[in-house]
Amino acid sequence: MFDDINNPVSSLNDDNAFDLLNELEQNTPDEIRHNRAHFRLATKARIVLQPANSSDLLKFKMQGTTGDLSEGGCRALFPMPPRVGDVYRIEFDRKQLDLPLTFGRCVRCHLLREDAYEAGFMFFTPISLPEHVAAKQSLI
């Protein structure tokens, strides 16, 4: 069920690597939108990202801005890249977006320019979007 993390070569043998590269090639923006599990709302709100592990909480703190939000995740811009695969504590500015503290995994990160990174997060627990946000924001 799980690959041996001590032997990364076994999980990316020639056939698996070829299949993964083919799948990645087909991940166009239109294909990604088509396969989403939840609709997304374009929204701009300040968020704070910190490690999810309590013992690492004070080691890293970064502020960003959301680009869109859904029940299952969000997209945000940051001045530095979050680590893909890591789990983060995501805190929304309650004045802008009244959402509880949320935990999510960084599932992708793209360099936009040297001081701007776009990152996608998948929440561990679906969130309920505030009514006023859903009513005034545009669908993506």
**30 and 42, same domain (yes or no):** no
**83 and 125, same domain (yes or no):** yes
**How many structural domains are present in the chain?**
2
Pairing of strands 41-42, 62-69: antiparallel
**72 and 115, same domain (yes or no):** yes
Are 44 and 67 within 8 A, CB to CB?
yes
**43 and 29, same domain (yes or no):** no
Residue 12: which domain range? 1-35
On the 0-12 / 13-18 / 19+ scale of CB atoms within 10 A, 7 is exposed
Are 84 and 98 within 8 A, CB to CB?
no
The domain that holds 72 is classified in CATH as: 2.40.10.220
**10 and 60, same domain (yes or no):** no
**74 and 111, same domain (yes or no):** yes
**27 and 90, same domain (yes or no):** no
Check the CA dihedral 77-102-125-97 and report its sign: negative
Tracing tokens 């893909």 back to the chain, one arrives at 84
**73 and 61, same domain (yes or no):** yes
**64 and 101, same domain (yes or no):** yes
Are 81 and 97 within 8 A, CB to CB?
no
Of residues 132 and 73, more confidently modeled = 73
**50 and 119, same domain (yes or no):** yes
Are 122 and 105 within 8 A, CB to CB?
yes
70-125 residue pLDDT tens: 899 999 999 999 999 999 999 999 998 889 999 999 999 999 999 999 999 999 99
Residue 138 pLDDT exceeds 60: no
Between CA 99 and CA 76 the distance in angstroms is 15
Q: What is the CA radius of gyration of the chain?
A: 17
Between CA 40 and CA 38 the distance in angstroms is 6
Sorting pLDDT into bands at 50, 70 and 90, what band is 47? very high
How much is the pTM? 0.71
2-26 residue pLDDT tens: 455 565 555 555 666 666 666 656 6
The reported pLDDT for the residue numbered 14 is: 62
